[in-house]
Each structure stands twice: as structure tokens, then as C-alpha cells.
């Protein structure tokens, strides 16, 4: 199921006014970035946020979050998925989105070494 434009519009209305937030299409999903670092993205009927370990269990217990997985490759880092089926549900996800927003700002941006091919 594709993510609805109504849900995306509702998310935009809350998140885009936050300091240094922008959107970008990445990997077939709409991503929300703060100062160039992704803190949330929408994929199918899910809102995916990056949470520190201490918040993951709480998110599972309180909102039924699940670790985000990429097919058969297992869990994708610190990312957790929240189900969103209507625009009315967006506001209830905001505390988790806000945690992600601050978490990615506190974590240094990963510096992958590029392999130079000759």
C-alpha cells in the first residue's frame, strides 16, 4: 500500500517548520532531514524513525513499533517503523519523530571511506 498524500501533507505541516528540516526523495521514499541528516522517512504505510536503544523498547511497548528491516538482510540499524494508516494518527507519532530529530543531531554523521577504483 502506498503512503497517502494526505498523511504526507499532515507530516509536512508538523515537521517542515522545525529548525533546519527539509525533505528529499531517497530510495523510493520521502525522507525528512535535519541539517542534511535523515531522521525519518515514509515507506509504504510506515513512518520510519531512528531511535536510540533506550527508546526502542518503550516505542515497541507504547505504540507497537517494530525494527525496520530490509528484506532478508535483517534489521536496518537503529531504525524503527511505526504504522500510519490515516492522517489522524500523525500527531500520536510526533513524540517519536521528535526523539529521532534530536537523536540524529547528537550522533556524528557517519564518515564512510570511499574506495577509489582504478
Interval 94-115: pLDDT, tens: 999 999 999 999 987 665 555 5
Residue 67 pLDDT: 85
Return the CATH number of the domain spanning residue range 5-106: 3.90.1150.30
What are the pLDDT digits (tens) for 10-37?
999 999 999 999 999 987 788 999 999 9
What is the crossing angle of helices 90-106 and 53-63, to 10°? 170
| Interatomic CA distance for residues 54 and 58, integer angstroms | 8
Residue 1 pLDDT: 45
* pTM of the predicted structure, to 2 decimals: 0.82
Residues sharing a CB contact under 8 Å with residue 116, sequence separation 6 or more, in sequence order: none
Amino acid at each position: 500500500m502506498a503512503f497517502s498524500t494526505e498523511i504526507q501533507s499532515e507530516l509536512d505541516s508538523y515537521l517542515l517548520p522545525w529548525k533546519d528540516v527539509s525533505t528529499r526523495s531517497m530510495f523510493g521514499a520521502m525522507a525528512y532531514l535535519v541539517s542534511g541528516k535523515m531522521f525519518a522517512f515514509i515507506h509504504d504505510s510506515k513512518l520510519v524513525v531512528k531511535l536510540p536503544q533506550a527508546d526502542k523498547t518503550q516505542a515497541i511497548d507504547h505504540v507497537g513499533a517494530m525494527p525496520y528491516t530490509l528484506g532478508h538482510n535483517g534489521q536496518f540499524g537503529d531504525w524503527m517503523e511505526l504504522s500510519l494508516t490515516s492522517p489522524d494518527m500523525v500527531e500520536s507519532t510526533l513524540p517519536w519523530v521528535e526523539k529521532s530529530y534530536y537523536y540524529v543531531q547528537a550522533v556524528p554523521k557517519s564518515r564512510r571511506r570511499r574506495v577509489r577504483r582504478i
